[in-house]
A and B are shown apart, each in its own frame.
Chain A
Amino acid sequence: MREESMILKGNSLSLLNEFELILESDPLIDEVGFIHPSQFVTLNKEASSSLEHEDANFWSRDHKLAISTDVLLPLYKAVKDVFMHAISQYKSHENLSDASWDEGNLESEVMKHSKALLLLSCDFGTAWNFRKLIVSKKQHMLIFLDELFLSALVLSCSPKSEKAWCHRRWVIKMLAGKCSTMQVIVGKESELVEKIAERSKMNYRAWNHRCWLVSYMTTEQVLHELKKSRNWAGLHVADNSCFHYRTRLMLRIREDHCHKLEDGTSDGNDEIYRIWQEELDWNEALIKCYVGREALWLHRRFLSLSWIRHFTTNVGDTSNYRVCKSSINADIGVFMDNELHLANSCSTIPDNEFEDFQAQAIYSATYILWLTKQISDSQGIELQEKPNLGSLRTMLNTACPERSSLWDISTRISGKCDEGLKENRYQRR
């Protein structure tokens, strides 16, 4: 029994050596994956190789690395053991502040084993931490960039790894202010997120990273990102995160614009107005093209509410918007008429009972109720001529009876305006 475990241990150490040797001999490996050993044959065929490695544990070519799922358990155990040993040695020497210790060697051991470990266990926080500790002592641009490279390699296999994304933010914070190519780095980060989001749909961590980057962008970059992400969003209409990213960019553009208005370097709202109008028109086109997509209707809620708050004048201000109130005197009534028209055109359910059309009808009706409630709640105005909320409610009560108390409160609030509707206008309360 004991002999057996010794043999196993010996095997896993040679596995470990083999693994680390591959990583060292090709520092440009940019993609890693775990695959079933039977797939090695396919990989070899695809690479039109005459060699057959059916019993191989690793496969590596063109800077891509595959690890057999058969060896993951022993390999992980071996890597973890050597890593834990390396950091305990590192810590004890560091504490003794022993002049004779071979700092460089201990550091490279920790770096080597932590890399191997993170490829197998992407959220092993202690391994990321020790890399941060060692790298921050060096304060060298190229070493920081190596960390971005490693984190991207981990993300190629584990695109949702929270710690890998977090490591990138740490590196970027370390570089900020010290590095002249910050804009280039931020641009590349944004591209990386897009690349990963393409393979890993609705990846919250990835898009959160992109949102985080916005505060490091110049105004020009923000405008460029808004332009660039439009195409992607149009092809991924169910990915709410991308639309949220656009929300983040648009709010930043408006914020920058407010600063310009305050310090007198700009006096008009035309540019902001154009951006909002374009987004509304584009969103409407997508809604009509892709039937029943929740993310599109939620994006429209944001667009419409902020349009009303920003561009209409006879509306109670909230402090956030007072400073840079638009000079464009848009009419809230005309705006709402358009929205009702859109919602109406989306609420016909054809006989064939496609679920998408039902969803579209529900989202459009909910959209109108939501917007009406938000306007009357936060803007201090009431609809004079309200949309036919009664019929919307009846429809929603049939389609989603479990939310009936929600439909009740939203129509009750707007229902107050039943008394005295005269003109097709919204008035201050």
Chain B
Amino acid sequence: MGELVVDKHVKYILSVEKRKDSFESVVLEHLRMNGAYWGLATLDLLGKLDALDSNEVIEWIMKCQHESGGFAGNIGHDPHMLYTLSAVQVLALFDKLNVLDADKVANYISGLQNEDGSFSGDEWGEVDSRFSYLAICCLSILHCLDKINMEKAVNYIASCKNVDGGFGCTPGGESHAGQIFCCVGALAITGSLHHVDKDLLGWWLCERQVKSGGLNGRPEKLPDVCYSWWVLSSLIMIDRVHWINKDKLVKFILNCQDTENGGISDRPEDAVDVYHTYFGVAGLSLLEYPGLKAIDPAHALPVDVVNRIFFQK
């Protein structure tokens, strides 16, 4: 097993933006904002955020803001909560939250809360517990959590809990590690983790570790590097991370690196992408891999960034 090839990953991240020559790279332009967050958060965790020009990024982000206050995935696209959180997170990485009209963004988000406490992803009304997390995390970063009905928001998330201790998209939906991260993260930020049955959920989560050391997101699925983040951060938030084998997971993630050209893939030998590169590095950060910045498991931002937001006026 090798070590984390930091320099190659930095080079890979910087090269992703320039690739416009394949259908696969161009066809995801509608979620470029998420891509920016994955790439830039990775650079920051690796301690290399200064490798690119922040002004250029910030200028582009602000061009993606819609008059409603929400952000789109790219210029000219419709806004959505998914991209709004990524935009705010990237601005936080650069310590540039001050370029935002926080109230305007917060009003966009609070306007998407429904009567039952749930959140729609955008004006078209799809409801998902993921959107509850996006809303709560974003408002927390903006110091605007008072703009929503928190009690109802928390109760809605609690209503998505299943008999196995996990959480689904809506009440009665199947448990999924990604949804669990969102629900546990939102409950952690709002100080409502008492709604989680920690032993029961911890049990389900640690059963996600398969023989190779990797984690899957649901029973019977193959392991995938991205669950190193979703499962691991949830286990940390509910204080059950000692129920999995951390060394085996570190090895699994490192085995998914492209040691020649940089980048991390879902499983060993697969093609790399920026999404899995971020979740691999973020997972290693949670596992306290040497040389990486520590990451906050609820806000999905480096701990120094979170400290700056909450302890510096």
Contact = CB atoms under 8 A, between A and B. Distances in A.
B172 A170 contact: no
Contact of A129 (B124, B242, B243): B124
A239 B175 CA distance: 13
B23 A72 contact: yes
A241 B217 CA distance: 12
B133 to A, nearest CB: 16
Interface residues of A, number: 55
Interface in B142-195: 163-164, 168-170, 172-176
Interface residues of B, number: 43
A403 interface: yes
Contact of B220 (A120, A170, A240, A374): A240
B164 A406 contact: no
A244 B200 CA distance: 17
Nearest to B21: A73
Contact of B218 (A202, A247, A301): A202
B219 interface: yes
Contacts of B202: 406
Interface stretch (B56-64, B70-78, B107-115, B286-294): B70-78
A173 interface: yes
B240 to A, nearest CB: 8
B219 A76 contact: no
A282 interface: no
Given A170-B124, A247-B163, A403 B219 contact: no
B125 A402 contact: no
- Most chain-A Cβ atoms within 10 A of its Cβ — which of B124, B221, B242? B124
Interface string A129-147: 1001000000000000000
B22 interface: yes
Contacts of A247: 163
B165 to A, nearest CB: 10
B78 A76 contact: no
Given A208-B174, A294-B219, A402 B30 contact: no
Given A73-B26, A124-B30, A373-B199, A202 B78 contact: no
A335 interface: no
A248 B221 contact: no
B267 interface: no
B243 to A, nearest CB: 5
B126 interface: yes
A126 B172 contact: no
A30 to B, nearest CB: 23
Interface string A83-105: 01000100000000000000000
A305 B165 CA distance: 13
Contacts of A125: 30, 73, 77-78, 80, 122
A110 B232 CA distance: 44
A405 interface: yes
23 contacts: A121-B30, A123-B30, A123-B31, A125-B77, A125-B78, A170-B126, A208-B169, A211-B172, A211-B174, A212-B170, A240-B220, A251-B172, A298-B164, A302-B163, A305-B163, A306-B163, A366-B207, A377-B199, A402-B244, A403-B243, A403-B244, A405-B243, A409-B199
Question: What 9 A-B pairs come out closest when comparing CB atoms?
Answer: A402-B245, A244-B174, A72-B23, A240-B219, A73-B23, A126-B78, A238-B220, A294-B219, A126-B77
Interface of B: 21-23, 26-27, 30-31, 72-73, 76-78, 80, 122, 124-126, 163-164, 168-170, 172-176, 199-200, 202-203, 206-207, 209, 218-221, 242-245, 248
Given A72-B23, A240-B219, 11 more contacts: A69-B23, A88-B76, A121-B27, A124-B30, A125-B122, A129-B78, A202-B221, A212-B173, A240-B220, A374-B200, A377-B199
